[in-house]
Structure 1
Amino acid sequence: MPRPDPLREKLAPSPSPSSTSSQYSQDLPYNEKEIEYQDATGNPPDDEFVFEEYAYLSNHKPYRKPIWRQKKVLIGCGVGTVIFLAIFIPLLIVVIIPKVAQLMMNNASMSVVQLNMTQPGEMAMAVSVLATVGGIPSLLSASLEFTQEVDISWENELIGSMTLGEVKVSKGKGDIVQTTQFQIKNTTAFGDFAKVMLSADGFTWTLNSKATIKALGQTIKNLSINKNLVMHGLNNFANVQILGFDLPADAPDGNGALVTISASIPNPSPIGMTLGTITFDMSYKTAYLGRVFAKDVVLVGGQPMLLNLEGQLLKQTDPVHVAELSELISNYLANIPTLASGKGVSVLPDGVNAVSWLTNAIVATTLTVPLKPVQPMEVVKNIKINDMDLGFSVDNPWQPTVNSNSVSADFKIPFNISINITELANATFKLAYQGNDFSQISTAVWNTTASDMSNNKVVFTVPVSPMNIYNQLAFTDFMTSVTQQTSATVNVTGSVQGVAVTSLGTVHLMVPLQATLPLQGINFSNAKPTVTDILVTNGTTEAIIITANIGLQNPSIFSVNMGYIVLQVDSTVNGTYGYVGSVTVTDLILKPGLNTIPASIRLSPKDPTFRDAFISKFMAEGDIQSSIYGDAQTSQVASMIPTLETLTMNTTIPGMTPRPRLITNGNGNPSLGNILGPRAIPFTVTIANPLATVLWIDTMTASAYWEGNYFGGVDHAHIPFAINTGAAVVSPQLALQFPQGYEFALFLVTQFLPKNLGLLTGATVNLTMTSSILVYIGNAPGVGYGTTVAYTQNDIPSFLKIDYSFAGMTKRFLADDTDARGEVPSIQPISTLVQTVEAVQAVGVATATMQPAQKRRFLSSLPDHLLIPSLEVMVGKATPSIESGTEYVAWLEKALRALYPEHQARLS
C-alpha cells in the first residue's frame, strides 16, 4: 500500500462555493474544474511562488499571462499607429489617389454607339455623339470632365478634334450624349479616312485628351486620356437589299428607259452622315448601263439606310454589251440575284455644293447592287398542256418519245417599256410529281400562227423528242396516277429563249416558267370499256380465238402508245367467278376521247363446267359481267409494267351479236303410223355456223316443245358433221321421239292437229328446242376446241307432212298391249278370212266379242289397205277427206278413242 504524501494532502482542494471558482476561471487557460494550481484557500498563488521542488508531482502546464495584456506591448502599438497615419494620409492624398485615378482611367473602356455627322464642310461639321464609358469600379460614383479638346487620330495621323463636356459615372458606367463641332485638322488625312470608312470592314480611332475626375470628395486633375476605338466601316455599302426595281417608261430622249431602284443598305458602323444627293454610274460586267441618283440621303449610325435611286438606263448596241444586258434581264426575270455595280460619281450634302473629302470618298466607293425581285416573278403563267403523245419502246423503256401540238401560256414582261417579242424558241420543260423531278422535255418550237402576242399568249409545239426518265420511281407514280385516277398534278418548270426588241436594245432573254398543272386522268379504275364486233375466228385444243373491238374512253390529254400488251379476263357466269382468258392488243395507241381498239381475245377457261357455262352464255344468252386486269406479263416495256400491272377495269362481254340462230329449221315426214304408233318420227334440222371458222357437231341432245308442251326428244351421239363458215347444213336423219302413252296421242288429235290443220297436207309449225350440243370450234374433234353448248331456241320453223298410210301402227299396238308377263293376248286367226275389202263388213262381226287389246292385235295383222276400212267399220263412219280438215281430225279422234276405250275410261 503506497505511503501517504503530506504535501499532496495539504494542497488537496477543499470544497468551496462555485462562485469563488468561477471568479478565476475566466482568466485561466483552464476551466473551473482544473484545480491543480490553486492553494488550500482556493486563491491562485503569487507570481513569485515557486513550484520547482514539487514539479515532479504535477502533470499540468504552469500559468503565463497573454502577450496582448502586457502593458509595454500596448503602449508600443499606440505610438506606431500615430506615426503611420501621420505619414500615410498625406501620401494617399498627394500621390496614391492620383495614381489610382490614372490607372482607373487607363483601364476604363469607351465605345461609340453613334456619331452622326451633319452639315459637312471642308473643315468642320456638326456631330451628335452617343457613347458609353465603362470599366470603372461599380462602388464609385464620379464625374469626368474633359478639360481640353479630344484629338482624334487615324493611322497615326491627327484627322480632327471635338469638345466633350462632363460625363457622370454611376455604378461603374456613364453615357456621353452631346452635340458638338468636329474640326478637321488634316483634310488630306481625313479624306483618306473617309474613303476607308466607306469601303473597309472597320477602322480604329485613337482619342487623346485631358480630364478631371471628382470622386470621394476629391478632385483629381490633369488625367491623361488615350483610347483606341475600334469601329465598323460601311464595307462599300455591302449587303444591299433591293426593295424594288422597275423600268416605268421609255426614256424621253429615246435613248433607253427610265429606271427606279429602291434599296435598303445596312450600316454596321456607328458613324452616320448627311449625304444629300448622291449619284452612281451603273454597270454590269463590261456594259455601262446608265446613271442613277438619289436625293436627301441620310446615313444614320447603326441603322439601315433607305436609298431611292432613279435615272436612265441607256440603249445598248454593242453585241457584247447587248449580251450582258440580256443576261442581266434574264436573271432578273428568273429570280436569280445578279450583281450590278454602282460607281460613286458625286455627292452633294446640301443638294448643291460638294465637299471635296466626301466627294473623294464617294468616288472611291463602288456600290454592289444585287438585282432580284422582291417577290418571285411569274413571267410565264397559266401554262396549259393541251395534248401530249407518249410513245414507249421495248429497246428504250425509260426513254419514251414525247410530242405535243399545243402547249399554251400567258407571257408578260413586267416592265412598262416598249417591247416586241419577235422570236421564242428552245423551250425546256422539267416535269415533277409530288416534289420529285422525273424527266425533262426540250426542243419545243414556237407556234407563231397559233400565238397571239398582242394579248400576250404564246403557243408551243413539241416535235417528237426523247424524254429521258431519270427518276423511275417518280415516273411510275405519275403514270399510275394518270392511268388509275381522275386527276394527277404535275409540276412544270423550265425556261424559254426569246428575242425581244425593246427601248434598251434587241435583247435575247431566257425566260423562266413554273407552274403546277392539274391534269385529267384516264381513270381506268372507273372506266367501262365496251366489247363489240365479236367474231370467233379459230379454235385450237387450248383456246377459242376471237377478234373484237374494245371501246375505251380517254378523258385525259395524253395519247399513249403502249405497244404490245396482254390483259387477263375474269367473268361471272351463273354466280360462279372464274378465269376466262386473255385480251391481246398488238399495238395499243390510246388517244384522247373514244378509242376503238382492235383486240384478239383468247378464251381458255380452265374449269370444264365453267367453260361450258361461259361459252353457252356467250353464244346464246349474251351479257357477261367481266373484269379486265393487268399483271407482270402485261407489257414487254419495262417502264410500263409497274403501271399496267395495277390496271383493273370492269366491263360487260356481250354474247355474239346479233344473237345467232344455230338451228334454222326442222323437217319431218311422219306417217299416221308413226304418230299413232311408235311415235318416233324421222326428223332433220338445219344448223347454221355463225362463226368465222369451221364448226363441228359431234353429239346432239335436244328437247322440242310446242306452246310449252313437251313434243319429243332427240338423242344422237357421235354423228360428226362439219359446217363451214357462213354455211347451213342439214343434219343426218335424227329420230324425234314423241312421248309414249295414250295421253300424248290424244293431245296430238285434240290440240296439236286442230291448231295446225295445214299439217294434213304439209305445213310449217314453230317449235322451241333446248339442246346440249358437243361442238368442236376451229376443226374436227381432237383438233378444234371442244365444248358443250347449252342452247335454247324459240320459234324454229319445222315443216311436217303426214303420211296417211298408218304404217308402223303394229309395233305401237304390240308395245301397248303386252300383259304383265310380256305376252301379247291371243286372237282368233280370222284375219286370214279378211282378204278383200268386201270382207271388211265381217270385221265388225269378227271383233264384236274381242277385248280391246285383242281387237288392236287383230287390226295390226290386217294388210295396210284394209286397216282404214276396218277402222271405219269400228268407228261407224267413213273416213272424211283430208281437205275437210277439222272433220278429218274429229274422225281421227274417234278412231283413237275406239282403239283405246279402256284408256279413255281411265281418263274420264
Structure 2
Amino acid sequence: MATPTAATPTATTPTATAARGDAADDAQSQASSADHINDKAAGPPLTKRQKIRRHCGRFWLWYLVATIIFLAIFLPILFKVIIPAIVQAIINGQDLPIQGGRLDCISESQVKIAINTLLSTPLPARIDNLTLNLYNKETSPYAPFANITIAGQKIKGDTKITVPSQLVIVQNEPELTTWFGKVIDSEKVDVSVKGRPTVFLGKLRSDVKLDKTLSMPGLKRFAGWGIKELKMMLPPDKNGNNIKGTINVPNTSVLTLNFGNITFDLSSGKVRLGQIIVYNLFLNVGSSNTLNFDGKLDLPHLVKNVGPVLRSQTEALNRGQVELNFTGTTVVANGQKIPYIENVLNKRQLTTSMSVITLLSDVASSLLGGGSASIVDVLGEVVGNKTFLQHVMDHYGDTQMAKNLTESSFTKRAPDPKDAIMWNMLKMGLAMKLNQGK
C-alpha cells in the first residue's frame, strides 16, 4: 500500500513577482489612457438652453399635465372674471355726454325722445341692443320715469351714438314732472341712466352694468324771454282776443323742445291783467325763437286796479320799463293736455321787462296804424293818471334810448288835424270800452 505524499508549497520566485508588478502597471496605464480619451470625447459643457431642452425632453409629460391643470383653472377666471372686469372698467369710465337731441310732448302718457351721445373705447367692440332707464338719482327707491333703446352697433375709438326719435311711454309722471322742473329751472341739469349692456370683444361676451349720471345745460327759466311786439285789437276779434304779438323764447339747452300750445296768465304784481296763448312752442337750440301769441287783456280790471299795478311797477318804471309776469296754466299738444309740463309751469312765474316807450308805441301804432300824436295824452286821460305817465316819460328821457328821441315826438300833438281827430276817437273808444265793464 502506497503511502500519500505530502504537498510541498510552490516557491515564488523573484522573476514571477516582477512579472505580476509589470502587468499591474500596464493595466493602470491603460485605464489612465482610456479616461483621457473619454474626457476628450465629452466636448464643451452644455448651455442653459441645451440643459433646459434636455430637461424638458426628459419631463415633458409632467409639464403637459401641469399646463392642462393650470389652463383648466385660469381660463374660466380669465373669461368670467378678468375680461368682464376690464369691460366694466371701460363702461364706468364713459362720460356719455349729451351732445344734442330732441324732445316732443305727444300726449299725457307719451313723449318722443332723440339723443346724440359719444362712446370712447380703447378696443374695438360691439354692443347688442341696449335699453336705458331714465331716472332721478335723488329719488329713493329707484323709480325710472321712461326708457330709451340704443340699437346694437360696432364701437371703435370715439364713436358717435345716435338714438333716433322714438316714442316713449311715461312710466312715472311725478318723476318726469320733477325732472322737467329741473330742466326749466337749472343752468345745468342731470339725468341718470341705468341698463345692462352686452359687450362683445371679438367672440368674447361680457354682460356688464351701466349706471351713470349725465349732465346737460338747462333752460335757466328761459333767461332772455321777452315780448318783442305787442298790438291791441279794438274791437276784439271773434274769439274775444284784444291783444296779439310776438314773443322771444330762448333755448339754452342742447335739446330741441316741442311743448305745443301754452296758455299763460298775465299779471303785474298780484293783479291779474289777462291771459295769452303762445302757439306751437317749438324751441330750436339757441337764443332766438320768435313765436306768435294772442290773448285777452282785461282792461276794466286793469283800470279798477291801476293803483296796485302802478305800485308794483315802481322799480321797473324807474328803469324806464314795465315788468310783466307769466304763469303757465294750460299746456296742450295734439289736442291733449300735457300734465308733466303743465304742472311745472303752474308753479313757476316767468318775468319779462319791456321798454315803456316800446310798449306805448306798439299799442298806439296798432290802434291807429302809426302817427305821431301824444301817447301820454291819450292813455293818461283814459286811465286817469296823465301826470304819472308824463313823469315816466320824463324819467325815461334820461336813458340812452331816449337820447335819440325828441321830447316833442312823445308829448306834443302833431299839427295834422287828421291825427288829432284819430287820437280823440281813440280816447272816446277806450273810455267807452272800459265803461262797459263797470
Q: TM-score, normalised to structure 2's length? A: 0.63
Structure with the largest fraction of strand:
1
Q: CA deviation at 1:277?
A: 1.4
The 8 Å contact of residues 265 and 326 in structure 2, kept in 1 or not, is answered as yes
Larger radius of gyration: 1
- Judged with a 3 Å threshold, the aligned counterparts in structure 2 of structure 1 residues 322 and 503 are, in CA distance, closer, same or farther, namely farther
The 8 Å contact of residues 124 and 157 in structure 2, kept in 1 or not, is answered as yes
- Give the alignment of 1:523-602 within 5 angstroms: none
The 8 Å contact of residues 201 and 234 in structure 1, kept in 2 or not, is answered as yes
The 8 Å contact of residues 207 and 225 in structure 1, kept in 2 or not, is answered as yes
Q: What SS does the aligned partner of 1:296 have? A: coil
Matched, 1:99 2:26: no
Which residue number in structure 1 is paired with residue 276 of structure 2? 292
Structure with the largest fraction of helix:
2
Residue type of the alignment partner of 2:343:
N
Q: 1:133 and 1:235 mapped to 2: Cα distance?
A: 28
- Judged with a 3 Å threshold, the aligned counterparts in structure 2 of structure 1 residues 257 and 184 are, in CA distance, closer, same or farther, namely closer
Which residue number in structure 2 is paired with residue 150 of structure 1? 132
Matched, 1:365 2:345: no
The 8 Å contact of residues 151 and 207 in structure 1, kept in 2 or not, is answered as yes
Q: CA deviation at 1:349?
A: 0.8
Q: Note the alpha carbon deviations across 1:381-421, whole angstroms, 9 max, x for none.
A: xxxxxxxxxxxxxxxxxxxxxxxxxxxxx65549x999879
Question: 495, 498, 503: which is aligned to 2:430?
Answer: 503
Which residue number in structure 2 is paired with residue 72 of structure 1? 51
- Judged with a 3 Å threshold, the aligned counterparts in structure 2 of structure 1 residues 240 and 172 are, in CA distance, closer, same or farther, namely same
Q: What SS does the aligned partner of 1:110 have? A: coil
Q: CA deviation at 1:74?
A: 6.0
Residue type of the alignment partner of 1:228:
T
Q: 2:431 and 2:197 mapped to 1: Cα distance?
A: 63
Matched, 1:192 2:178: yes
Residue type of the alignment partner of 1:101:
V
Residue type of the alignment partner of 1:98:
P
Matched, 1:282 2:272: no
Q: CA deviation at 1:279?
A: 0.5
Which residue number in structure 2 is paired with residue 238 of structure 1? 223
Which residue number in structure 2 is paired with residue 323 of structure 1? 310
Q: What SS does the aligned partner of 1:141 have? A: strand
Q: CA deviation at 1:201?
A: 3.4
- Aligned positions, number: 350
- Judged with a 3 Å threshold, the aligned counterparts in structure 2 of structure 1 residues 421 and 97 are, in CA distance, closer, same or farther, namely closer
Q: CA deviation at 1:260?
A: 2.8
Q: 2:48 and 2:128 mapped to 1: Cα distance?
A: 53
- Judged with a 3 Å threshold, the aligned counterparts in structure 2 of structure 1 residues 447 and 365 are, in CA distance, closer, same or farther, namely closer
Q: 1:335 and 1:505 mapped to 2: Cα distance?
A: 32
Question: 195, 203, 212: which is aligned to 1:209?
Answer: 195
Of all paired residues, the percent bearing the same amino acid is 17
Q: Note the alpha carbon deviations across 1:684-719, whole angstroms, 9 max, x for none.
A: xxxxxxxxxxxxxxxxxxxxxxxxxxxxxxxxxxxx
Mark the runs of 5 or more structure 1 residues left unpaired by the alignment. Answer: 1-47, 50-64, 380-409, 458-499, 507-908
The 8 Å contact of residues 289 and 314 in structure 1, kept in 2 or not, is answered as yes
Q: 2:411 and 2:193 mapped to 1: Cα distance?
A: 73
- Give the alignment of 1:433-472 within 5 angstroms: 452=415, 454=417
Q: CA deviation at 1:228?
A: 0.9
- Judged with a 3 Å threshold, the aligned counterparts in structure 2 of structure 1 residues 209 and 309 are, in CA distance, closer, same or farther, namely same
Matched, 1:182 2:109: no
Q: Note the alpha carbon deviations across 1:207-249, whole angstroms, 9 max, x for none.
A: 111111122x22323211111112333232222144x222243
Note the aligned Cα RMSD (angstroms).
Answer: 4.9
- Give the alignment of 1:609-758 within 5 angstroms: none
- Judged with a 3 Å threshold, the aligned counterparts in structure 2 of structure 1 residues 219 and 303 are, in CA distance, closer, same or farther, namely farther
Which residue number in structure 2 is paired with residue 889 of structure 1? none
Residue type of the alignment partner of 1:71:
Q
The 8 Å contact of residues 198 and 234 in structure 1, kept in 2 or not, is answered as yes
Mark the runs of 5 or more structure 2 residues left unpaired by the alignment. Answer: 1-38, 363-371, 421-426, 434-438
The 8 Å contact of residues 418 and 502 in structure 1, kept in 2 or not, is answered as no
Q: What SS does the aligned partner of 1:228 have? A: strand
Q: What SS does the aligned partner of 1:247 have? A: strand
The 8 Å contact of residues 257 and 417 in structure 1, kept in 2 or not, is answered as no
- Judged with a 3 Å threshold, the aligned counterparts in structure 2 of structure 1 residues 421 and 289 are, in CA distance, closer, same or farther, namely closer
- Judged with a 3 Å threshold, the aligned counterparts in structure 2 of structure 1 residues 323 and 376 are, in CA distance, closer, same or farther, namely closer
The 8 Å contact of residues 119 and 349 in structure 1, kept in 2 or not, is answered as yes
The 8 Å contact of residues 230 and 243 in structure 2, kept in 1 or not, is answered as yes
Residue type of the alignment partner of 1:323:
L
Q: CA deviation at 1:278?
A: 0.8
Q: 2:144 and 2:259 mapped to 1: Cα distance?
A: 24
Which residue number in structure 2 is paired with residue 19 of structure 1? none
The 8 Å contact of residues 118 and 158 in structure 2, kept in 1 or not, is answered as no
- Judged with a 3 Å threshold, the aligned counterparts in structure 2 of structure 1 residues 129 and 303 are, in CA distance, closer, same or farther, namely farther
Q: CA deviation at 1:302?
A: 6.4
Q: 1:69 and 1:115 mapped to 2: Cα distance?
A: 66
Q: CA deviation at 1:378?
A: 8.6
- Judged with a 3 Å threshold, the aligned counterparts in structure 2 of structure 1 residues 308 and 373 are, in CA distance, closer, same or farther, namely farther
- Judged with a 3 Å threshold, the aligned counterparts in structure 2 of structure 1 residues 167 and 302 are, in CA distance, closer, same or farther, namely farther
